[in-house]
């Protein structure tokens, strides 16, 4: 994993701006502190901050092919580079390193942009053709690795993080109010939109080509589901093939020239990943987890049980309210967008523990829920579809109580909650976001705090339709679970879980996360598994539990999923909470920023303070965290942004300069 950055002159050659490039690379040093590299000519500048994982001695970037025509900067891993290299050598390509980066260059030279379909990996890379003066930018299938871009004053800028683009201080830094509205609907923006006006994000599974004065974009992959499933195939057969694919996915993701550890949360997914690692090593596996002071969120009992069962050397960090409050501003600096939960913050602390233990790479169970039907959202969808067949039924909606053991079970309370919340839009099957209505209804509470100016800037923009663009032609013919999975993968997975809760908080501490469940072969196979084997009755990820039955203890397989969560507003209203909080959400600060109504925010802050030792509603928690994170974002990126000082040339391991 690395940080990549640079620019391309759209209108012909210009004097290379090496100081700007050195700033753009320097501000990404957390992503790759091991080495820095640069390429400059009058049309293009490429920079990289490297986290050395594969080919530690000769894998420096930027890197070129044999004749110096193609230059690349690359963030991520191509796991099947070992298999691709001999194929390319037989076709006549000469290699001088042992890196996966060089495999990309030769694959592009051989197959052009079609080469990305041959890669098994997580990647964002940029290839510059110094003869044709063209640029190619691409992002991996499921959006594990980020890439952002903008056009300003005849230059096309790109970077792994937005802060690097902003090192050119002539680029305007403004909040995109429509992007903000998307976040307060979906938890994320729909690419290419971001939280900043004019700054774009390349969507997962897509590319951009700049050639002969034209900018062309295209899609090379997206999730796809059959309209009819093979219901004759046995559950055992599906489980066996899934297990084999996961074993091979883990095998590939253990490829590294540095030690590889694993996150172990105590749940099914991380336990499965860790258990599969043991297929390939006799060494003790190093595992990492978070324990919470607040027992409502703590899973350390299960983590320790699994560590003992699997015989791992387990490392655990303990997270308090104060820890979350103190680290939160740093997390927002790295997420580069508002967030609605504090959950990324303990993961930021966890990756710091990984780095302090001298590990750079961890395998995690992320993606299992999306691919195999693990979320309550999916079960809610199934129940709501069933309920909609008889909307006046008194017992059908009560199935929802099986999903939430903490839901008040008295007839009156349960009936009232279910009727007023989950019945909204019950029969609106024509809405592409039908499955996500309950979550959207909770999230959009924050919009009640908008100032009049914010409402005016957003206007009649339809955030609900943000992910309706380019839906597959067969989308509405898919099973309702398939539609829910597709939308979840396109929105929350790529835009939040793999970003704010993934790449951004691991990269912040120079750690790379790897995700066996997000191998595209696993994703494509999982899409073909009949829904009844993903959610059997109301048992989530049933086929995965069947696949792992010989490798995990029965109590882990039977355990009801506990979603990863962290204390939210509670963390900011304790006696020892940091001083910045009061200032950030004060009436003066809220009025100065102008996004929210000070009087409304004041009432919410008062409510949070009074209930500082209780658990607020999801809506109030999301509203407070969303407001606080937005305020911090504006402070760090709009009002008080400071570009990094330029790295000295002596800091660069490689420096290639071409007069053109």
Class of domain 235-371+493-558: alpha beta
pLDDT of 552 strictly over 80:
yes
Q: Is residue 245 classed exposed, middle or buried when 0-12, 13-18 and 19+ CB atoms within 10 A define those classes?
A: buried
Tell me the pLDDT tens digit for each residue of 614-640.
Answer: 778 889 999 999 999 999 999 999 999
Inter-residue contact 84 to 90 (CB < 8 Å): no
pLDDT band at 365 (very low <50, low <70, confident <90, very high): very high
Q: Which residues contact 412 (CB under 8 A, 6 or more apart)?
A: none
Superfamily of domain 2-221: Aminohydrolase, N-terminal nucleophile (Ntn) domain (3.60.20.10)
**SS3 of 275, please?**
helix
Inter-residue contact 256 to 54 (CB < 8 Å): yes
Residue 383, H or E segment: helix 376-388
Quote the CA–CA distance of 599 and 183 in Å, as a whole number: 22
Q: Determine the distance from the C-alpha atom of residue 146 to the mean position of all C-alpha atoms in its chain, rounded to a whole number.
A: 8
The token duo for 100 is 């996966």
pTM of the model: 0.96
The token duo for 132 is 């044709």
pLDDT band at 540 (very low <50, low <70, confident <90, very high): very high
Residue 412: the pLDDT is 44
Upstream peptide bond of 192 is cis (omega within 30 degrees of 0): yes
Residues forming a β-bridge with 149: 158, 200
pLDDT of 587 strictly over 50:
yes
pLDDT band at 402 (very low <50, low <70, confident <90, very high): confident
Tell me the pLDDT tens digit for each residue of 161-189.
Answer: 999 999 999 999 999 999 999 999 999 99
For every residue of 435-484, DSSP letters joined together read GGHHHHHHHGGGGGGB-HHHHHHHTT--GGGTT-TT--TTGGGS-HHHHH
pLDDT of 106 strictly over 90:
yes
Residue 408: the pLDDT is 43
Residue 563: the pLDDT is 81
Look at residues 174, 143, 129, 212 and name the one whose alpha carbon lies nearest to residue 457.
174
pLDDT above 70 covers a percentage of the chain that reads 97
Tell me the pLDDT tens digit for each residue of 446-479.
Answer: 999 999 999 999 999 999 999 998 899 999 999 9
Residue 660: the pLDDT is 64
Quote the CA–CA distance of 491 and 368 in Å, as a whole number: 15
For the chain, give percent helix, strand, coil, nearest 5. Answer: 45, 15, 40
Angle at alpha carbon of residue 461, lines to 459 and 462, rounded to 5°: 145
pLDDT band at 612 (very low <50, low <70, confident <90, very high): confident
pLDDT band at 409 (very low <50, low <70, confident <90, very high): very low
């Amino acid at each position: 994993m690395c940080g990549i950055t640079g620019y391309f002159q759209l209108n012909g050659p210009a004097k290379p701006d090496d100081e700007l490039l050195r700033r753009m690379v320097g501000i990404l040093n957390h992503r790759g502190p091991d080495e820095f590299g640069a390429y400059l000519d009058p049309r293009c500048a490429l920079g990289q901050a490297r986290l050395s994982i594969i080919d530690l001695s000769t894998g420096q970037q930027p890197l070129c092919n044999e004749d110096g025509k193609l230059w690349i900067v690359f963030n991520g891993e191509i796991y099947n580079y070992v298999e691709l290299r001999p194929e390319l050598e037989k076709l006549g390509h000469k290699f001088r390193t042992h890196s996966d980066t060089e495999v990309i260059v030769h694959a592009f030279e051989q197959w052009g942009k079609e080469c990305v379909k041959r890669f098994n990996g997580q990647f964002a890379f940029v290839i510059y053709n110094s003869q044709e003066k063209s640029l190619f930018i691409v992002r991996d299938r499921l959006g594990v690795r980020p890439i952002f871009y903008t056009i300003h004053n005849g230059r096309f800028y790109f970077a792994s993080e937005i802060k690097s683009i902003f090192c050119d201080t002539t680029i305007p830094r403004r909040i995109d109010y429509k992007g903000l509205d998307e976040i307060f609907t979906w938890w994320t923006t729909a690419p290419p939109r971001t939280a900043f006006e004019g700054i774009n994000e390349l969507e997962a599974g897509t590319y951009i080509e700049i050639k002969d004065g034209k900018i062309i974009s295209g899609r090379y992959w997206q999730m796809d589901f059959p309209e009819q499933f093979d219901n004759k195939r046995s559950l055992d057969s599906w489980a066996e093939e899934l297990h084999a694919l996961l074993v091979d996915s883990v095998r590939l993701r253990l490829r590294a020239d540095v030690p590889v550890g694993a996150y172990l949360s105590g749940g099914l997914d991380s336990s499965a990943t860790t258990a599969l690692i043991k297929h390939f090593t006799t060494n003790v596996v190093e595992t990492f987890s978070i324990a919470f002071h607040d027992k409502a969120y703590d899973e350390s009992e299960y983590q320790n049980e699994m560590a003992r069962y699997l015989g791992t050397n387990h490392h655990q960090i303990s997270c308090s309210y104060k820890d979350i409050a103190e680290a939160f501003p740093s997390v927002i600096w790295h997420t580069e967008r508002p967030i609605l939960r504090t959950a990324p913050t303990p993961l930021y602390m966890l990756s710091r523990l990984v780095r302090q233990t001298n590990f750079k790479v961890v395998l995690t169970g992320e993606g299992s829920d999306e691919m195999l039907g693990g979320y309550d959202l999916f079960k809610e969808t199934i129940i709501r579809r069933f309920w909609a067949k008889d909307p006046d039924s008194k017992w059908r909606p009560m199935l929802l109580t099986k999903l939430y053991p903490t839901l008040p079970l008295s007839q009156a309370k349960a009936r009232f909650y279910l009727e007023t919340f989950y019945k909204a839009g019950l029969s609106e099957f024509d809405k592409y976001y039908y499955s996500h209505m309950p979550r959207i209804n909770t999230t959009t509470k924050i919009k009640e705090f908008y100032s009049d100016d914010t409402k005016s800037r957003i206007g009649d923009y339809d955030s609900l339709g943000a992910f309706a663009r380019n839906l597959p032609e067969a989308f509405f013919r898919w099973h309702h679970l398939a539609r829910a999975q597709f939308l979840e993968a396109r929105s929350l997975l790529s835009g939040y879980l793999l970003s704010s809760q993934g790449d951004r908080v691991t990269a912040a501490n120079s750690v790379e996360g790897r995700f066996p469940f997000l191998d595209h072969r696993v994703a494509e196979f999982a899409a073909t598994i009949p829904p009844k084997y993903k959610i059997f009755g109301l048992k989530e990820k049933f086929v995965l539990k069947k696949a792992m039955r010989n490798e995990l203890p029965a109590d882990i397989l039977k355990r009801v999923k506990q979603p990863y969560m962290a204390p939210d507003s509670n963390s900011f209203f304790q006696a020892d909470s940091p001083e910045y909080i009061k200032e950030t959400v004060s009436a003066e600060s809220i009025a100065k920023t102008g996004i929210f109504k000070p009087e409304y925010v004041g009432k919410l802050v008062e409510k949070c303070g009074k209930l500082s030792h209780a658990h607020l509603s999801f809506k109030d928690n999301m509203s407070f965290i969303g407001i606080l994170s937005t305020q911090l974002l504006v402070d760090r990126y709009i009002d008080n942004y400071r570009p990094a000082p330029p790295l000295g040339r002596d800091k660069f391991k490689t420096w290639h300069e071409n007069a053109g």
